[in-house]
Structure 1
């Protein structure tokens, strides 16, 4: 009968994994590790307070008596500086594994599943080659003759490979994208920021839902990952024959676009979409909130330029741009927007922390980029993975949860109160 350890158990991906482990009666023990509240209550769940920033020796003390067959590592620390991000997140994983080696728990490990993301492909730097496939080369310094920034996913993958070879256990890296889900007191979630943007737009005069990003972004294709589907994938990957020592894309399985999602958002929140949404006259009221940011590095597709036969295309060498008629970070600081939020908060008893901690900056990036992020799921499919979720249904389910948790207003009341 299997046992599990989940780090970052109160985050969106970790929380979903714990919930799905609890639903599986074959798991006899589930250790949840985090710095904060215990989270899910179940007779088989045992919580241990663990600060992954501690030394291996300090963690070993906290992990005394904790061991499991499968480890789901979902913790990470965001850092603006890429070198610092690689150093800090590499240390989190390395010290944790060393702590398990010190306690003897590492001898029991069968597989360690590490949650990473599409940043593995450099999608945060610019246009990548698509579809994204797991065999694409890592953008390590010098590839293609370019100087690439550090990437903590590469650092962590190397740590995993070395530790697994030494301990004779297996590793897996999952690559989800723009994860949609919910975890209590955790607002690092695209659905939260989008839901708040839509709700406040409904409460503003005219109830217009203007797309904050650029027109190219609106028309591009992307893929998203449900936290629920990712959890199911991780549990599948933990035991699937032949899955060990591999990197896997984990996306819902459909290909979506805001040209399809935005009208659905408008309908759900009772807003209208302007007839000419990308006309400068439509967004002139928000002119002070526009953003045009030049990024620092070449588009990642540049490393494939020669093999693709596009080495003379300027796209491969020019630095990408984030361009938004309305930057959500600036929009959230407007006086009229704050007043509308305060009205919603008092009317529906909403959580102020959701507004304060919403990932406006991430939404600025997601809606401002001029490239899509579409990944192939073929590698996992060939090994037997059949999971699928409809992305719009994932958003709707998450919005329902956000309503119940007092993060966004009850939709029917909102629509009736702001007709």
Structure 2
């Protein structure tokens, strides 16, 4: 009999893990931990409310009677300042482990699976080496901002002796998924942008709001469902102990391939000129955002060193200037435009959509996701060699999540949206 503990159980990655644990017959008991809502309701689940910012002693009281063979730690707290993010997330994991040590439950734990991400490589700081590999050097030292992933991984390794557990770290990228009342995801903002553009833009055009460089670049995405399957595999695989893994769908995609599909799905048209007048021009009278310089130097200067065989002709040139972000349409300002708001309210009232989805959509995140000028491609070779064979088509991942957002009344039903006329 196996049991599991899931922190951040109502988030996008955590809720997907819970759903897959419910389908796995070897897990007879699942403890879900979160600060607010309960999440999934099932006979196998016991829920506990917990504040991961509290002391280990206070957490131990909340964790009385909670024990598991495997812990899936998916909780994190976002902070604008990197040093504050590192401090609070390190303390959160350390206090949680200390609390389990106090209750005695840590002795039962065989493995802790920690969800991190591609900030491990500094994708938020600028151009990174392509493809990203788990052996790439960490960005540590006074020239680089703190990285809470590094801090958390050290906490896992340094505390393993307390319970004799092993650990595994996952590095997903641009996770595609949905969780109830969670609007901080790429698909929500993209789906809202496309749905509202159907009414707000002339001829229902769907211009790519980001940069031309990003449109032509290559990227990898991670389905929340695929990530959950990987976590369950990693929790049991002997050779996954004390290892860090990239976790992406397995294909390499680009907006030049995905954007026409998004336009077609939402009944929009692709502009004949996607980037009129070059990258630095206005589009449809909406304001651009940027260019904004990222970290100087970009991570590639550390990752692509002379002793690595991945360095090719001209690669050192990438580190001479900091990378930039640019959106030909500033989606944050776009969402406040009078005709855009009118189009949203028309859809909201007609289809009974959730106003919170609009109010809490992460337009600023789209600035980064669609505006970065560099590719973000990772290799899955390490996991493949160890026996992982999971794969998911990225467009299928997008469609699945868009369907879920429709059912949740966050997006209008496309079957009816396609019949809507432009208000512009």
> 1:372 and 1:311 mapped to 2: Cα distance?
16
**Does structure 1 residue 413 correspond to structure 2 residue 416?**
yes
Alignment of 1:123-134 (within 5 A): 123-134=123-134
2:70 matches 1:70? yes
Alignment match of 2:384 (pick from 381, 384, 390): 381
Tell me which residue corresponds to 1:242.
239
Distance in 2 between residues matched to 1:109 and 1:297, nearest whole Å: 42
Distance 1:345 1:312 in 2: 49
| 2:330 corresponds to 1:349 | no
Three-state SS of the structure 2 residue aligned to 1:123 is coil
Matched residues in 1 for 2:164 and 2:103: separation? 17
> How many residue pairs get matched?
415
Q: 1:289 touches 1:331 (CA, 8 Å); kept in 2?
A: no
Matched, 1:157 2:161: no
Which secondary structure state, in structure 1, belongs to the residue aligned with residue 13 of structure 2? helix
Q: Does 1:167 align with 2:166?
A: no
Distance 1:284 1:382 in 2: 46
TM-score normalised over the length of structure 2: 0.95
State how far apart, in whole Å, the 1-side matches of 2:130 and 2:58 are. 43
Q: Distance in 1 between matches of 2:361 and 2:113?
A: 28
**Counterparts in 2 of 1:300-379, with a 5 A limit?**
300-303=299-302, 304-307=304-307, 308=311, 313-379=316-382
Find 2:270's aligned residue among 264, 268, 273: 273
Q: What SS is found at the alignment partner of 1:333?
A: coil
Supply the distance in 1 between the matched residues of 2:65 and 2:285 (Cα, whole angstroms): 57
Q: Unaligned stretches of 5+ in structure 2? A: none
Q: What is the aligned partner in structure 2 of residue 83 from structure 1?
A: 83
In structure 2, the residue matched to 1:288 is: 287
Please say if residues 148 and 297 of structure 1, whose CA atoms lie closer than 8 Å, have aligned partners that are also in contact.
no
Cα distance in 1 between the residues matched to 2:315 and 2:354: 52
Separation of aligned partners in 1, 2:126 and 2:264: 32
CA distance in 1, matches of 2:313, 2:285: 38
Q: Is the 8 A contact 1:182 1:189 kept in 2?
A: yes
| CA–CA separation in structure 2 for the residues paired with 1:154 and 1:341 | 41
CA apart distance, 1:200: 0.6
Q: Secondary structure at the match of 1:280?
A: coil
Specify which of 137, 153, 178 is matched with residue 182 of structure 1. Answer: 178
Please give the alpha-carbon distance, in whole angstroms, between the structure 2 residues aligned to 1:297 and 1:361.
21
How far 1:338 moved relative to its partner?
1.1
Is this contact kept in 1: 2:286–2:334, CA < 8 A? Answer: no
Quick check: 1:212–1:325 contact (8 Å CA) kept in 2? yes
Residue 15 (structure 1) aligned with residue 18 (structure 2):
no
Give the 3-state SS of the residue equivalent to 2:4 in structure 1: strand
Q: 2:113 matched to which residue of 1?
A: 113
1:391 and 1:311 mapped to 2: Cα distance?
Answer: 31
Residues 191-218 of structure 1: CA deviation (Å, up to 9, x unaligned): 1110000001101132000000111100
The structural deviation recorded for 1:284 is 3.8
1:292 Cα deviation from its structure 2 partner: 1.5
> Do the aligned partners of residues 130 and 312 (structure 1) sit closer, same or farther apart at CA in structure 2, a change above 3 Å counting?
closer
SS of 1:13's partner is helix
In structure 2, relative to structure 1, the CA distance for the partners of 1:418 and 1:294 (3 Å cut) is same
Secondary structure in 2 aligned to 1:285? coil
The CA RMSD measured in Å over matched residues stands at 1.5
Deviation of the 1:288 alpha carbon: 2.4
Q: Does 1:45 align with 2:45?
A: yes
> Which TM-score applies when normalising by structure 1?
0.96
